[in-house]
Amino acid sequence: MIEEVEKYFDVYHFEKTDRGYRFYVIPKADETEIRKFLSRLSYDYDVSLKYRYGEYILEISRAEKKERIWLNIVLLIATIATTTAVGSTFYGEEINITGGFMFSLAIMFVLGSHEMGHYIAAKRWKMRTSLPYFIPFPSLIGTLGAVIKHRGAIPNRRALFDVGVSGPLAGILASIIVVAIGLQLPFELKGKPMIYISTPPLFNFVVYLIKPEILMKKFASIHPVAFAGWVGLFVTFLNMIPVGQLDGGHVLRAMMGKKADIVSRIVPIVLITFGIIVSKIYNQPDSIWIFWGFITFFFSLHGHPEPIDDETPLDLKRMLIGLFAFLLAILCFTPTPFLYAVPTQT
């Protein structure tokens, strides 16, 4: 290890730590070569290069042991239970456990596809990342989504981009599949709907292909499975907002570099302003965009972690995929996703 480090640094002191070594160094290679070296190390080790009190300190530690998957399994089972319980109430006056389980499968497929998109992309870059942790929540749709835990540094901007964009693209594809299936399932709502929603352009396009007669109605009930697909599209848009460490923040940071921080600070203000305007125009008591604007404001306060190789720009192919991903996200947008005023039935 010392011989490898000395190819890029003059080492004037080193000491052993609990999990590896701490080197006190003076860089002798150019910054690009050093970043590439640290990027290669990060595949197998936890790597940190810091400038502290006039000294460069390089820490190289053994990677943490693999996490046990029992917690992932417990949370998965718990989330299936909560989404089934909540989904069983979407059928009107009667509790429909079978229907609730169908909704659970649909929403878990959508959320799981999103997270597995991240997971597979991270593994392709040999990044150390966990399996998805689903979050059960006995209200709303029965879950608060899922997360994966990443350990170690981000090797470069290409890795950051691939991991960031893969989740939304996989999630959109899964949502389209679920919407298409849900629209073809027979459904008769008994009683008053629990929630009124408006649909984004991408959802309406799938409806046009599968069941165009729905578009002719001012108000129509959809199967809870189709609603799960709607949730997937809506969550994808929220995730693709280019702020902080949201997926959109990762993608834009990879595309624009440090300039993305400027966008990350402006977007929350735009969301809050837009939310106020929407509330006035559509005569809604409040707007989710005001709430999400404050949430993204706190995301924007934390700077995005720098990839080890932050100099090498993205290739044209990735830039085009990034633009395409943001375009798809826009097609998942609707100004009033949740309607507080009851539409007139026709």
pLDDT digits (tens, 9 = 90+) for 168-184: 999 999 999 999 999 99
- Domain map (residue ranges) of the chain: 2-62, 70-339
What is the average pLDDT across 5-34?
Answer: 88
Question: Which neighbouring-strand residues pair with 147?
Answer: 133
What is the average pLDDT across 209-237?
Answer: 87
CATH fold group of domain 2-62: Hypothetical Protein Ta0175; Chain: A, domain 2 (3.90.1070)
CB contact at 8 A, 111 and 134: yes
pLDDT in tens, 256-306: 998 999 999 999 999 999 999 988 887 776 678 999 999 999 988 877 788
CB contact at 8 A, 23 and 5: yes
Distance, CA of 1 to CA of 131 (rounded, Å): 30
CB contact at 8 A, 325 and 165: yes
Question: Which neighbouring-strand residues pair with 59?
Answer: 22, 48
Q: Which of 10-14, 159-163, 266-270, 326-330 has the lowest mean pLDDT?
A: 10-14
pLDDT at 333: 95
What is the average pLDDT across 229-257?
Answer: 94
Q: 30 or 171: whose pLDDT is higher? A: 171
User: Which residues have a Cβ under 8 Å from the Cβ of 201 and sit 6 or more positions away?
Assistant: 331, 333
